[in-house]
Amino acid sequence: SIRHVGAYGSSKAVDRAAYVAVQTPQGFSGMEFRQAYGMPYSQAFTDDASVMEAAGYDVRLVEGSPVNIKVTNPSDIAIAELLLRQCND
């Protein structure tokens, strides 16, 4: 579930129709991406899309895929290699 947190720890249900889950990694133009990351850091940055938005770029959503994985930990490399082998078969 998702809830809005208010003062003193209170919470309230929200309309889920106004929210979507997004995946990382996300794709952007390399030139625009580098320019956006030239801005000073802000605690409002939660992902690459929030940085791009703050820089004034339009961020659009596209349909995701379960094979669009983020390689962060060593175990992710093994998963990525397995997915690549399946794509090449």
Domain boundaries along the sequence of the chain? 24-88
pLDDT of residue 20: 86
Residues 20-63 have pLDDT tens digits of 888 876 889 999 999 999 999 999 999 999 999 999 999 998 88
Q: Is the pTM of the predicted complex or chain greater than 0.75?
A: no
Residues forming a β-bridge with 12? 4
pLDDT of residue 2: 86
Mean of pLDDT values over 70-80: 91
pLDDT of residue 41: 96
pLDDT of residue 12 exceeding 80: yes
pLDDT of residue 74 exceeding 80: yes
Contacts (Cβ under 8 Å, ≥6 apart) of 76: 69, 70
